Amino acid sequence: MAQHIGTLLAVLSVVVVSSTAVKCPGTATYTLSWKATWTKANHPNTVLPSSAHFSPLIGCSHSADYIMWRRGQKASSGVKVVAETGQTGTLKGEIESQISGGKALQLILPAGPGLGAVDELTSIQVKVTSNFSRVSLISMLAPSPDWFVGIDSHDLCDNGQWRETWNVTMLPPYDSGTDSGLQFNSVNQATVPFVDIFRITNTMEGAFKAPNPIVSLGEFRFKGLNLTQSQMNNTVMNYTDGSATTVLYKPTSTMTTKLSQTTTALYDSASKDSVGLLLFIGARLILAWLFRSSAGIVKSDHTVDVPEISLSDFVLNKFKEYGDDTAVIDGASEKSYTYSELCTSVKKFASALTRRGFQKGNVFALYLPNVPEYPVSFFGVIAAGGTVTTLNPTFTEKEIAYQLKNSAAKYILTVPEIADRARQAATEVGIKEVFVIGEAEGCEPWASLLSDDGMAFPDNVAINPKEDICAMPYSSGTTGFPKGVMLTHHNIVSQLCIIMHENFMSQPRRGTTLGLLPFFHIFGMVVVMSQYLYRGGKLVCMQKFEGEHMLKLVQDCKIHVLFLVPPIVTFLAKHPLVDNYDLTSVDTIISGAAPLGAELTNAVWKRLPKVVAIGQGYGLTETSPAVMLCPRKNCKPGAVGVMLPNIEGKVVDVQTGQPLGPNKDGEVCVRGPVVMKGCTANRDLSYLNNPKATEECITPDGWFHTGDIGYYDEEGNFFIVDRLKELIKYKGFQVPPAELEALLHTHPNVLDVAVVGLPDEGAGELPKAFVVPKGEITEGEIIEFVAQRVSPHKKLRGGVEFIEQIPKTASGKILKRELKK
């Protein structure tokens, strides 16, 4: 065989024979045969392959890329090895094993001492007859008879469904120096080269191990690398199974380079024999996967079907099914709507608006806390063909007026407690009618709309789900004023279908949740209110967070699912009041708006052991909102989740825009049907009247740049580590520093200013101002100046610090990192 063909050791084919699946424990017959050529002179210190390297193992089912197994986990087996050996010769082996017991069958393919050093492995065939409900194949490094380090594991059989074939290609060591090798301190002293294990499947899933690993297990150590601590921090992965820790290096770009160099040579000899041809095809498949991987696009393993339908039709059809089940309850007054009443009220509201000349495309503003009338008005406006724009009920008159004018709202609905602000803002921008739930001077009662007979309900409104806007929440930016985010019917219908996939937010239809997160916010609007009502659950509304009131509602209403933000999760973990209430009905907690740390997650689990799942997600107003969620059954602590179905993600270099591989920090970008309207052809329509902002964040091929810095690991878990944008998040609320800076610049005694967010365990971040004074002024005066002009969440709770000069770059950009030190 030509020397360059020896670059690939073998293509292994596993053949499985199906039998009826039964409950564990199962039994299996395992037959393995192999052939290899080996020259002792080339490998003087090598231990020949033996039964220790081929015996099957029994363990729990798993899907991790790096797993350790003790030989003590195996069941009884009978092994027969036939080998023909010599200074130069052909190795042959056969093994037959009878196995019983255990929860799942684990089969190993050898790649350790002996076999890792053969000149050429010409064939391995495994035949399995099994009634285990789950069977996995694992490619192994076997440094000693007692330890196995799993490099690659995949299911051959899952829930009784067998794959017909499974192909694995093994590659030899790279030329990485004479010190490279495996050295272990067990009874058998030996040194052998490394073997890189690649897997090929029909979906081209990839390469998982880089050259020169270091593994520390107490019994032995892989060594031969001289790395700086910085390099190790960037490339080392730790995996712990409770008894020991494995450290393996992750894939590097060297793989692509080396494979590229060998492919051309392989082609020359491919025509000379069938083995060469097979090896060449295998190498090309690996290269294809690597270049696909280098594109850095991460996708879900799942897809969902999304109907092209208006959001109002999507939900109203479901409301009709649920009839007299309770839909919405006010947590304070206990006022409620059944689904029949909710559906009727939505139609009456839409009919009343139509009679008043409200038409398709008109905008209706909701300036409301979380009240039962919120979903009635929200879906009623949409059913009439209109667009809802939602406002924070803590907004000042000026903030309300800006959004009303920018969105061209025709009407506004509010409650008596904040009606004065709404009426004054409406007058400022020329809105003549302000509706109020209850009674307030100068406002028209909500009851006048609900007294409509519903006969003018616009059944014939022609909605194009992918083009027509149904919701327009506003997203704060780091520069300028808040921007109207244009979300289509298809955006939100897609979001609902995607998050309700069984791997994520699949819940019993009649579950109960607490509507605590504000409905004006995209998370509360879509993930909480719209999703839970669509699935027929019970939504208990809470207008503002009060710790003891929340605990009482959870206890009395038997809340099953809590949608929270990290500060409230902290309350559950640490506040002594929690011990006074029965929260055992809660089985799921989902956190959003800001990252949830692993320590806080564990603290809640310790205090609320009945909770089945604690997860979090990641998204933005511009993405309807969720693009990542933690799977219900496999949530990695600290991760914000994995990509949701139908959505693509990638991490790009901030400077070059090039996609990055796993475990490299860059800007997170997403693409899919949940991204606001401008991700398609009409890119000037993403942000209302703001084509410049649209162009800056959405590429021509539909990638949305989130402005957040993060990375993903080999398993597709995403982690958010920083914000490229300078947006401050106080208790989940957005605080644009530029807005506060612009306000402070209007003060006559402020020469220069910069606002940053200070980390805070309870609130996430606190806005703090660094001020260069122009005259006599105190910290209290500045804090009061801001407090009188902004919403409560934008106050300078982090304080004020006077400095002589704001640090800036040569181009004038504020060095906020310097201020945070």
Residue 787's pLDDT is 93
**pLDDT, tens digit (0-9, with 9 covering 90-100), for 92-118:** 444 444 444 444 454 544 443 334 444
Predicted pLDDT of residue 39? 53
Query: How long, in residues, is the chain?
Result: 821
Q: In the 8-state DSSP scheme, what is residue 800?
A: E
Helix 373-383 vs helix 339-355: crossing angle, to nearest 10: 50
Q: Looking at this protein, which amino acid is placed at residue 17?
A: V
Q: Please answer whether residues 429 and 403 qualify as being in contact, where contact means their C-beta atoms are separated by less than 8 angstroms.
A: no
The SS3 call for residue 297 is coil
> What does the pLDDT average to over 134-145?
44
Q: How far apart are CA 472 and CA 259, in angstroms?
A: 50
Q: Taking CA 567 as the corner, what is the angle to CA 561 and CA 568, rounded to the nearest 5 degrees? A: 35
Evaluated on CA atoms 511, 515, 519, 523, the torsion sign reads negative
C-alpha to C-alpha distance for 332 and 370, rounded to whole angstroms: 11
CA 547 vs CA 287, 550, 568, 571, 732: distances in Å: 56, 5, 8, 8, 17
Edge-to-edge, what's the strand order for the sheet holding 469-471?
444-445, 434-436, 409-414, 363-366, 387-390, 469-471, 487-488
Taking the C-alpha atoms of residue 721 and residue 651, their distance in angstroms, rounded to an integer, is 12
d(CA 150, CA 61): 13
C-alpha 602/C-alpha 572 separation (Å) is 12
Report the distance separating Cα 793 and Cα 732, nearest Å: 10
pLDDT at 476: 67
Phi/psi for 610 (5° steps) reads -75, -15
Helix (H) or strand (E) holding 607: helix 598-607
pLDDT attached to residue 479: 52
- pLDDT over 80 (residue 32): no
pLDDT number for residue 808: 72
Could you report the per-residue pLDDT of 681-714, keeping only the tens digit for each? Answer: 444 457 888 888 888 888 888 899 998 888 999 8
**Cα angle for residues 471, 476, 482 (degrees, 5° grid):** 75
Q: How many CB atoms lie within 10 A of CB 511?
A: 18
Ranges 256-270, 281-295, 331-345, 560-574: which has the least confidence: 256-270
Across the range 571-599, mean pLDDT stands at: 88
pLDDT tens digits for 44-92?
544 444 433 333 333 322 222 222 222 223 333 333 333 434 344 444 4
For the ranges 98-112, 314-328, 425-439, 760-774, the lowest mean pLDDT is seen at: 98-112
Q: How large a percentage of the chain has pLDDT more than 90?
A: 42
Rounded to whole angstroms, the Cα distance separating 491 from 669 reads 17
| Beta-carbon contacts of residue 78 (< 8 Å; ≥ 6 apart) | 96, 97, 98
HSE of 212, CA atoms in CB hemisphere, 13 A: 17
372-387: pLDDT as tens digits: 999 999 999 999 999 9
Specify the DSSP class assigned to residue 338.
E
Q: Could you tell me the two tokens for 352?
A: 């009343």
E strands, 215-262, where? 220-223, 236-240, 245-249
Class of domain 27-229: mainly beta
| pLDDT tens string 162-218 | 544 433 333 333 222 322 222 222 222 222 222 222 222 222 122 222 222 222 222
| 431 pLDDT more than 80 | yes
Ranges for all domains in the chain classified under CATH 3.40.50.12780: 311-629
**For residues 223 and 590, what is the distance between their CA atoms, to the nearest angstrom?**
43
**pLDDT tens track for 443-498:** 999 999 999 999 999 988 999 999 999 999 998 654 567 899 999 999 999 999 99
pLDDT at 550: 97
Number of Cβ within a 10 Å radius of residue 761: 11
pLDDT at 276 over 70: no
Please report the pLDDT score of residue 694 as a whole number: 83
User: With contact defined as beta carbons under 8 Å apart, do 721 and 651 qualify?
Assistant: no
CATH 3.30.300.30 domain residues, the chain: 726-820
Q: How confident is the model at residue 140 (pLDDT cuts 50, 70, 90)?
A: very low
pLDDT in tens, 778-811: 999 999 999 999 888 999 999 999 999 888 754 4
Q: Which residues pair with 33 in a beta bridge?
A: 94, 125
Span 531-565, pLDDT tens digits:
999 999 999 999 999 999 999 999 999 999 999 98
Q: What is the Cα–Cα distance from 647 to 643, expressed in whole angstroms?
A: 6
Q: How many percent of the chain have pLDDT more than 70?
A: 61
pLDDT value at position 301? Answer: 84
CATH fold, domain 311-629, is Rossmann fold (3.40.50)
DSSP 415-461: -GGGHHHHHHHHHHHT---EEESS--TT-EETHHHHTS-STT--TT-
Strand 191-192 and strand 181-184: the pairing is antiparallel
Q: How many CB atoms lie within 10 A of CB 689?
A: 12
Query: Distance between CA 236 and CA 52 in Å, rounded?
Result: 29
Closest-CA residue to 147 (of 112, 172, 103, 118): 112
CATH code that applies to domain 726-820: 3.30.300.30
Distances (CA, A) of 454 to 380, 402, 434, 459, 556: 11, 33, 21, 11, 36
pLDDT band at 678 (very low <50, low <70, confident <90, very high): low
Residue, of 674 and 41, whose pLDDT is higher: 674
* pLDDT on residue 343: 97
Mean local confidence (pLDDT), 505-509: 64
Residue with tokens 């100046």: 785
β-bridge mates for residue 98, sequence order: 29
Burial class (CB in 10 A: 0-12, 13-18, 19+), 474: buried
Q: What is the pLDDT of residue 161?
A: 56
Q: State the Cα–Cα distance between residues 272 and 279, nearest whole angstrom.
A: 12
What pLDDT does 774 receive? Answer: 86
Ranges for all domains in the chain classified under CATH 2.60.40.2130: 27-229
- HEC string of 114-154? CHHHCCEEEEEEEEEEECCCEEEEEEEEEEECCEEEEEEEE
- What is residue 41's predicted lDDT score, i.e. its pLDDT? 54
pLDDT digits (tens, 9 = 90+) for 304-334: 999 999 999 999 999 999 999 999 999 999 9
Average pLDDT, the chain: 70
Higher pLDDT, 368 or 260: 368
In this prediction, residue 382 carries a pLDDT of 98
